[in-house]
Amino acid sequence: MIDDALDRPHEECGVVGIWSRPEKQVDVARLMFFCLYALQHRGQESAGMATSDGHQVQVHRGMGLVSQVFNEQNLLPLRGHLGIGHNRYSTTGSSHLANAQPYVLQTLHGPLAVAHNGNVTNAGTMRRQLMERGVGLTSSSDTEAIAQYLAMPPAFLSRGGANWERRMAHLMEVAEGAYSLAILTKDALWAMRDPLGMRPLCVGHLKQDGEIVAWLVASESCALLTIGAKVVRELEPGELVRIDGEGIHTVHRAPPPRTPALCVFEYVYFARPDSIMNTQSVQVVRSRMGRQLAREAPADADLVFGVPDSSVPAAMAYSEELGIPYREGLIKNRYIGRTFIQPSEELRRNSVRLKFNALRENLEGKRVVMIDDSIVRGTTMGPLVRLVREAGKAKEVHVRVASPPIRHPCFMGVDLASYEQLIAHRLDVAAITRHVGADSLAYLSVEGLHAAVGKGMPVGQGHCDACFTGRYPVDITEVRSEEHMSELQSPCNLV
């Protein structure tokens, strides 16, 4: 399988949830399909939906892209007026159908389904506690631990009623790390963000003839806009909301954190540019990064171009700030995608050429600045520089990166590789420059990144920048432990 992202941080996950008025007969599954399609960039390994009519739950999950998992035939049985959906990239839990979401349980109080974006850093402890209480686990996903915790009432609750609100509030006290959740119960849709707000989650509504017919939650606002819904707001860190026939209402708030910690990589790479996060346009923030990069690391060059697609806003802003013309330098083959046809060894060695072509007409004989959003392992930048030199015939290639050097792994749900694999952990900037074969290389500073991100941000907000600084907002001792990592692996190996 060709890695569509090449040397990129692997995406997190995307979640969506819909509650609709039963009498309006909204096609919930079809709406979720298009929402998940809009969130495809957040996970490409598996996709799934669970829908309910208040009595029964229908589920369909599969490996692959949304368009590969769903079709008219398997959407048809997904009936009901509420549902949740999920795109997955595996972080905790291997890439098998057993780990695909939503995770669904039948409980004494009706169906329970969970879709999760993030990574619970104390999932090993949670899994062990569940097994000590006699709960059998069938997957290596932390989402299963979340669902089982909700299904098994804590000791302080009476077993006579569901008390979903108190169960979810208790989960927020127990679970550590990053989690945005869409949860389906018999008669309600629930949405929850972890107390640090590390993963995004927003809420909106869909109107017909001026009347609200459905409420929705999604990882990014672009998913809601895709189906014509209006974005109402983002969930606050530590907020739990219930959506039912009475509308949407907050039922629990965790104590506010000293500083919220939304993943700053949402702005750098993960989020779609047309999404809004912390009330800011991702496109605008990326442009600010490019302008700040130009101030910190100007280059004497003839033209600027960005590595498609997420680097383009920063590259255009870099060009404008320095008065250097912007031109296309690389054309992306958008349809190579995730093919299951294995390339030959020769093609594998030249995988960058499968993904990009250089525009020789624009590059030949020019001193060029190539802007990228990040460098992770360094395995793609070198071939890109060679492509621009050899196929594009550029005279000089100056690389500028619109984020700081990634020196630390992420333990909160983003696959950024290990310390040994991160090139900026092993080499300084001068050595990386030689490694990739550039004439010069410079990164945006940590201070510059925060200046760009924070310019339009509400007071009191903050971000997790641990991949750049090593300052983790949660205790990562357990998730880094090899003992606990081995505990997270299921012996069942279901496929």
Catalytic residues: 13
**Tokens in use for 199?**
């993963």
Number of CB atoms found within 10 A of residue 385's CB: 23
Three-state secondary structure call for residue 449? helix
Taking the C-alpha atoms of residue 430 and residue 420, their distance in angstroms, rounded to an integer, is 18
DSSP string for residues in 403-427: S----S---SS-B---TTT-HHHHS
Look at the block and give the residue holding tokens 């605008």.
Answer: 284
Among candidate residues 469, 317, 301, 311, the one with its CA nearest the CA of residue 369: 301
Taking the C-alpha atoms of residue 292 and residue 479, their distance in angstroms, rounded to an integer, is 35
* Chain-centroid distance, C-alpha 73: 29
Number of CB atoms found within 10 A of residue 26's CB: 20
Number of alpha helices (DSSP H) and beta strands (DSSP E) in the chain: 20, 23
Look at the block and give the residue holding tokens 């595996």.
Answer: 90
Contacts of 278 (CB under 8 A, 6+ apart): 234, 262, 457, 458, 461
